[in-house]
Structure 1
Amino acid sequence: MTLNIAAVTEKTMIKVKDGSDLSYKEMHEFFTEVLDGKVTDDELRDFIIALSDKGETVDEITAIAEVLKSYAKDIPNVNNKVMDNCGTGGDRSRSFNISTTSAFVLGSCGVTVAKHGNKSVTSKTGSSDVLQALGVNLNFDADRVAKELNESNITFLSAPHVHPKMGQIMRVRQTLKRPTVFNFIGPCISPLDLDYQFLGIYDRKKLMTITKVLQRLGRKNAVVMNGAGHMDEATLLGENHLVFLRGGEIEEVVIDPTDYGLTLCDKSDIAGGDGYENKEILESVLKGTATRAQIETVLLNAGIGLFVADEAKSIGAGIQKAREAIQSGKAYNKLQEVIKNNEESKV
């Protein structure tokens, strides 16, 4: 029987606009059509808005993630267990690049990090913006990325470069100027089969949903968090809400930074700027010369990441290990190693 693409698309659109959930199969078929160029920009825009208004399910998000990952560029011969610490964005906090800064700390502490990110869509400066300011090469080369992961245990993956079929999605997403399912999807579609994941989200109501998505995607350990101030990072603004996935078990946790000897701060204390301003903050944190709020915010995030990646037995132990990495110069040296490798790759 010949599949009538237009009929499938129309039926799916009507169902979502009526507020009905799609099955995994229905969403998988629809997004396969999207990536095959069989859905118009207007149809995709209407679908994304209707899906967001309805509320996305585990089946729906998992299906979209698996379709997009299946169309991503391949990265062969990676020997290490890999972690991503990409957040969703969408919190409009205008903070400095906390997760990107934390990635260098994690890498200096033995975690193999493949930081998946993008340019800013709903915030002032995305991870790609600050990495470009640092001179990091975001052009995709599978052999170079694999070498970086195997030898330097850190690499940065620019979403547009590793997902060449997402041009239409990005084009439509930029016209909406609002958080959508693609904020949740972005951190879930690393081209690598991740073992560990640290995922901050702006919507606290989605914590359990996204944790179950990561479970479906095969993560060994993961944490999905919504920070105090409803940020997509752990923050020093107050209580942080986390859901851990460890060994197949899911646990909800609320943590207070002061329980780990950290000092509460205001949102203005972690404000960022453009890519070059955030570059200066990132470098000063890794040197240990930044403000207390900036450094301790990174310590909290890196400490949680180290615990998730089985490099620390507790969050507190992870924070201490991250602190030692900054104080000893290891974290800043990891940044310099990345910059040096990028300079050599240009020769």
Structure 2
Amino acid sequence: MAGIADTIQKKAVMIDCQKENVMDNCGTGGDRSGSFNISTTAAFVLAAGGVTVAKHGNRSISSKSGSADIFECLGVDINLSPEKTSLILNEVGLAFLFAPHMHPKMKYVMKVRKELGTPTILNLIGPLTNPVALTSQLMGTYRRDLLEETAKTLSELGRSRAVVVNGAGGLDEASLAGTTHFALLEDNQITMHTIEPEEFGFARLPLEAIRGGNAKQNTETLLSVLKNQASPYLDTVLLNAGLGFFSNGKVGTIQEGIVLAKECVASGAAFYKLEQLIQVQKEVA
């Protein structure tokens, strides 16, 4: 996978990021869970906690709404030039990188992928091809059997620290539905781990509890989470944002990451990050 990802990345439109320790938290999708947009919501929490997030993503392929659909519903222009995207990333610490614009030479492949409407190898490769030089990454995958191999690939692509995660029910996120498995890349070593929601004070809930809808409905869910409205959606985002802080090295443990995530949401910092993103976008437009 590293060879394919490296080739695609070298042909990508590059984004100039002056920040240090930049991460992405996009997943493969393709898990058929019908969940809401967890990683997109968590990206605002991560950015509010001081982590620079280059959010690489696309429109929906096999679900009702992709990250691009959500950002559009939020009022974010996903069609900005690379120069303006770079300005936003450096100013806000969060920017959306629309995959078709970042990888214009892949447009014919993406057309076929959309027509197929099913998970392909591009689901596995896509999160590896962020045009920003990432140093850390939280990557969800619907393939539990590829956790360790994907972590090795991230190491080969230059990540110094990363977590590759698969949740209960095949979710490409950490899950409240049961055991979450993940591979941790740290100090050039890969170790395998499992976590349970109860370890962090979360109730175990079925996947139906975080069922999503269309882009508009999922955007409303995102806003409710950023406004700290108690729900299984909020708990799921806190778990994944906490894992994201841990993946980035911002904190030393997942528990510390969850505490930081709770602070970012409860203080209003996560919602402010959304407002800041929209305001800075208007200024650079």
| 1:268 counterpart (199, 208, 213) | 208
Matched ranges for 1:52-71 at <5 A: 61-71=1-11
CA positional deviation for 1:290: 4.6
**Is contact 1:207-1:242 (8 Å) kept?**
yes
Question: Is the aligned partner of 1:340 residue 2:279?
Answer: yes
Letter in 2 for 1:306: F
Corresponding residue of 2:254: 315
| Structure 1 residue identity aligned to 2:273 | K
Rounded Cα–Cα distance in structure 1 between residues aligned with 2:210 and 2:36: 6
Question: What amino acid maps onto 2:265 in structure 1?
Answer: I
Cα contact 2:227–2:268 (8 A) shared by 1 = yes
2:50 pairs with 1:110: yes
1:77–1:153: structure 2 CA closer, same or farther, 3 Å change rule?
Answer: closer
> Does 2:228 correspond to 1:228?
no
Corresponding residue number in structure 1 for 2:115: 175
Residues 95-120 of structure 1, C-alpha deviations (whole Å, 9 max, x = no match): 11000000000000000000000001
Shift of 1:142: 2.4
Q: In 2, are the aligned partners of 1:94 and 1:125 still within 8 Å (CA)?
A: no
Find out whether 1:256 has 2:189 as its counterpart: no
Residue identity opposite 2:84 in structure 1:
R
The percentage of aligned residue pairs carrying the same residue is: 46
Equivalent position SS for 1:299: helix
Corresponding residue number in structure 2 for 1:188: 128
Inter-partner Cα distance in structure 2 for 1:296 and 1:241 = 18
Gaps of 5+ in 1: 1-60
2:21 aligns with 81
Partner amino acid for 1:310? Answer: G
One-letter amino acid of the structure 2 residue matched with residue 196 of structure 1: S
Query: How many Å separate the matches in 2 of 1:193 and 1:210?
Result: 17
Q: Of 53, 68, 91, which aligns to 1:151?
A: 91
Q: Contact 1:243 / 1:253 at 8 angstroms: preserved in 2?
A: yes
| Pair 1:303 & 2:222 matched | no
- 2:269 counterpart residue number: 330
Deviation per CA, 1:279-299: give whole Å up to 9, x if none.
1000110001152x1111000
Mapped to 2, the partners of 1:79 and 1:306 lie a distance apart of 16
Q: Choose from 117, 123, 126 the match for 2:63.
A: 123
CA apart distance, 1:145:
2.1
Equivalent residue, structure 2, for 1:56: none
SS at 1:229's partner residue? helix
C-alpha deviation, 1:143, in angstroms: 2.3
Q: Secondary structure at the match of 2:191?
A: strand
Deviation for aligned residue 1:140: 3.6
The number of equivalent residue pairs is 285
Provide the aligned C-alpha RMSD in A: 1.1
Question: Are the equivalent residues in 2 in contact too, given 1:95–1:271 (CA < 8 A)?
Answer: yes
Whether the 8 Å contact between 1:80 and 1:150 is mirrored in structure 2 is no
Q: What residue in structure 2 maps to residue 136 of structure 1?
A: 76
Aligned counterparts of 2:233 and 2:152: Cα–Cα separation in 1: 31
Q: Structure 2: which 5+ runs fail to align? A: none
* CA deviation profile, 1:177-223 (whole Å, cap 9, x unmatched): 22111001110000111101000001111111111110110101000
Whole-Å separation in 2 of the counterparts to 1:143 and 1:63: 27
8 Å CA contact 2:17, 2:89 repeated in 1: no
Q: Does 1:241 align with 2:181?
A: yes
Partner letter of residue 343 of structure 1? K
Aligned to 1:90: 30
Moved more, 236-245 or 166-175: 166-175
Give the counterpart of 1:162 among 102, 109, 115. 102
Q: Is the 8 A contact 1:198 1:222 kept in 2?
A: yes
Q: CA deviation at 1:65?
A: 0.5
Could you tell me how far 1:238 is from its partner in structure 2?
0.5
The TM-score with structure 2 as length reference comes to 0.97
Q: Secondary structure at the match of 1:173?
A: helix
Which whole-Å deviations, capped at 9, do the CAs of 1:64-107 have from their partners, x for residues lacking one? 10111011002225232210000000001111100000000000
Please, which of 153, 162, 167 is the counterpart of residue 213 of structure 1?
Answer: 153
- Whole-angstrom CA distance in 1 between matches of 2:125 and 2:44: 23
CA contact (8 A) 1:86 1:99 kept: yes
Q: Is the 8 A contact 2:19 2:52 kept in 1?
A: no
In 2, the alpha carbon distance for the partners of 1:204 and 1:81 equals 27
Residue identity in the other structure for 2:233: Q
* Secondary structure of 2:170's aligned partner: coil
Measured in 2, the distance between the counterparts of 1:79 and 1:294 equals: 30
Highest RCO, 1 vs 2 (Cα 8 Å, sep ≥ 6): 2
Contact 2:17–2:132 (Cα < 8 Å) also in 1: no
